[in-house]
Amino acid sequence: MTTSSTRRGNASKRRRVSLLAAFAALAVGGGMAVPMTALATSGAAPAATGLQQDFKDAADAYHVPRQVLLAVAYQESAWETHPGQHSTDGGFGPMHLTDVTPAMMAGGDAGAAGRGDLTKLAADPALHTVQAAAKLTGLPARKLRTDPSANIRGGAALLASYQKAATGSTSADPGKWYAAVARYSQSTRRQGAEAFADRVFATMKRGAHRTTTDGTRVSLTADTEVRPATGQLASLHLKAAADTTTECPTTVACTFVPASPSNGQVSNRPANGIRIDTIVIHDTESSYDAAITTFEQAGGAAAHYVMRSSDGAVTQMVPTKDLAFHAGNYSTNMHSIGIEHEGYAAHGATWYTEAQYEATADLVKYLADRFGIPLDREHVIGHDNVAGPKSSLVSGMHWDPGPGWDWNHFMNLLGVHTRRHGVGPVGSVVTIAPRFDTNVQTVQICPSDDPTGATTACTETQQKANFVYLRTEPSDTAPLFGDQAIHPGAAGTDRINDWGSTAVAGQQFVVADQDGDWTAIWYSGAKVWFHNPHGCNTAPAHGVKVITAAGTSPVAVYGSSYPDASEYPSGLSPSTQAPLSMYTVPTGQAYVATTAPSLTDDYFPSSGRVVTGAKAMYTIQYNHRVALVYAGDVTATDS
C-alpha cells in the first residue's frame, strides 16, 4: 500500500521536475534523443496551434525572432509546461521563470532548514525572474507561474529587455541575439553564459520537434544559416569563472563547465577550517547533457562532478573548495563533495557501467587522498543515506542512486574488501554484505518512480539489489519494518523508493539478537531482523566505535550540526536545529560510528566567516541514513 509519505518520497526523487523530467522523456534508451528537423516530410512551417501559437504570439508581441524564443524554451524545459508546478528549487513553465522562496531553499537541494540567513539566500535576483517578467509584461506573477501562455510572454519580454540593454534595439536577425540569450541563462560567469548560448544556437541550427508529456506537439524548423554574433558576449561584462582547471586524476577524461553561482556558495574549503569528510554518490534521473544543463541554470541544484554512463567521462561543475547544493542538507553540503551519475534509479543496474564505476572509483580515491576522507560507508555514501535536516523533511529525502548501485563492487574498487562472510555474537558489529549478483529482491516500481516514462503502471519486478529487507520478526511472513518518518505506526513496503525497510551493503550495525538463519540489528530505535543463513549477508567488522546512551534516558538524534546560538559572534544570525522528533537512541541499544566526533560549525558566505562550536557530534549509522548525536550524550566503546 502506498502512503502519502511514500508519495512525498516519490516527488522528491523527481527533483528539478520542469527540466530534468522533460529531458528524461527524450533520453529513454541511453542518451538525449537527437532533435529532428521539424516536419521533415514537407519542410513546411508547422501550423500554429496551441503552444506553438503561444510562442508565435509572444515572439511577435516583443519582436523576438520566433526561433530564438523556441530554442531558449527548448533548452530551459524541452517545452514542458507543468502548469502551477515548479522545479524543486523554483523554476516555472516552459521558459523556466524562477520564483524561489525561503521554504524552497529550506527543503530543496540547498537543505537550508534552520539557517538564520535563509531569507538572504533566497533573495538572489537570479532566482526571481518571475518578478522581473511581471514588471515587463504587466501580468500578475501568479499568472506567469500558472499559465503557460503568460509564461512564454514573460520569457519573450525578458529576452527583449536583455537584447535592448546589450545592443540598444531588437533585431530580426536571430544571430544578433547572442548576448540576450547568454544573459537569459542568469549566469554571472562568462563560461556558463557562453555555454548556454552556444547550446541554444546549436538547437536553432539543427531544429527540434517533440510531443510534450501532456500530448502537445511543438516544432522548431532547422535554420542552418543562423550565424551567432558571439562577439556580443563582451557587452555583458561577465567575469570568467575563478576556477576552470579541473580537479581530477589523470586516469579520467575531465572537463570543466561552471554551474550557476546560485546553486552553491563560494568558499575556501578546507583552508578556511571547513573539513571535507564525505563524498555523496547521486544519480541524475536524466541524461548526462540534461543534468549539466540543469546545473548551469539559476535556482536549482549542482554537484561538483557529473559522470557519463557510456564511457565514464567527467564534467566538473563546482570547484572542490566551494559548496555545491546537492545533498538536501546544508551541513552535509558544507562537508561533502557531490558526484552525479547518469542513470535512473528505477532501472536498477542497467545504467551503471563498468566504465562509470572505474572512473568514479579513481576520482573518489583521488579526492579521499587529497582531503583525508575515510573510505567507509559513513563517509562514502549515497544520496539516500544523507540525513534529513529537520523532522518534516526526512520522509521526502532522495533515494538515489537506488538499489542498483553495486556498493560491494564499488568499495572493492576503492580497496575496501569484504574478506570473510559471517556474523559474530550479540553486541558485535557486522557489515551488511549481500552478494550483488545473486541478491535478487522483489521491488514495486510505479510510474512516478520512473521519469523516463517506461513504467506505465505499478509493477512488481525482480532486480539485483544492494540491500537486505528488514522485518519486525524473524520470519519471511513478518511485516517489513516501517520507518517512523515514512510509515508512522505502520508496516513498510517493497516500493523501490521506500528506503526505510532496508539495510544497504557497506553499512555497519550492532548485532541485537539471533534466531536460526535470522540476524537482528539495532536500527532506527528498534530491533529489526533480516534473513542471514550462515552469515551470508554480513561480514564481521572491527576497528569502529560502538555508541550507546551515556545515561538512563534516550539520546536525541539530529540531522545537522550547527553550534549553539550563544556561540555565534554578534552580528551573525545563528542557525538553529532541533532533534529529529521521530528518532532516538534508546537505552540498551547500540549504533556504529567509524571516526571521532567533529565540532559543530557553520558558514557565512557573505563574509567568509566560519563559526565553530565547542561541542562535538558523532556521525552514526542510525538506519538507512546516517544521523548525528552529541558526543556528551553518549558513550563510545572501541570494537
- In this prediction, residues 143-170 reach a mean pLDDT of 97
- Note the pLDDT tens digit of each residue in 589-636: 999 999 999 999 999 999 999 999 999 999 999 999 999 999 999 999
Q: Residue 562: what pLDDT?
A: 98
As a whole-number percent, the residues of the chain with pLDDT over 70 amount to 90
The residue type at 308? R
Write down the mean pLDDT value for the chain.
Answer: 90
| Residues contacting 555, CB < 8 A, separation 6+ | 549, 584, 585, 629, 630, 633, 634
Distance from C-alpha of 195 to C-alpha of 162, rounded to nearest angstrom: 17
| Residues contacting 80, CB < 8 A, separation 6+ | 18, 19, 21, 22, 94, 212, 213
Alpha helices for 226-382 (secondary structure H): 288-296, 330-335, 354-371
Distance from C-alpha of 225 to C-alpha of 520, rounded to nearest angstrom: 68
Q: Which cell numbers in the block locate residue 542?
A: 572491527
- Note the pLDDT tens digit of each residue in 202-223: 999 999 998 887 888 999 999 9
Distance from C-alpha of 611 to C-alpha of 81, rounded to nearest angstrom: 43
Q: Residue 84: what pLDDT?
A: 61
Q: Which residue has the higher pLDDT, 192 or 93?
A: 93
Q: Please list the helix, strand and coil fractions of the chain in percent, rounded to the nearest 5, in that order.
A: 30, 20, 45
Return the DSSP state at 632. G
Q: Residue 313 pLDDT > 80, yes or no?
A: yes
Q: Residue 509 pLDDT > 50, yes or no?
A: yes
Q: Residue 112 pLDDT > 90, yes or no?
A: yes
Its pTM stands at: 0.87
Distance from C-alpha of 24 to C-alpha of 457, rounded to nearest angstrom: 18
- Note the pLDDT tens digit of each residue in 394-409: 999 999 999 999 999 9
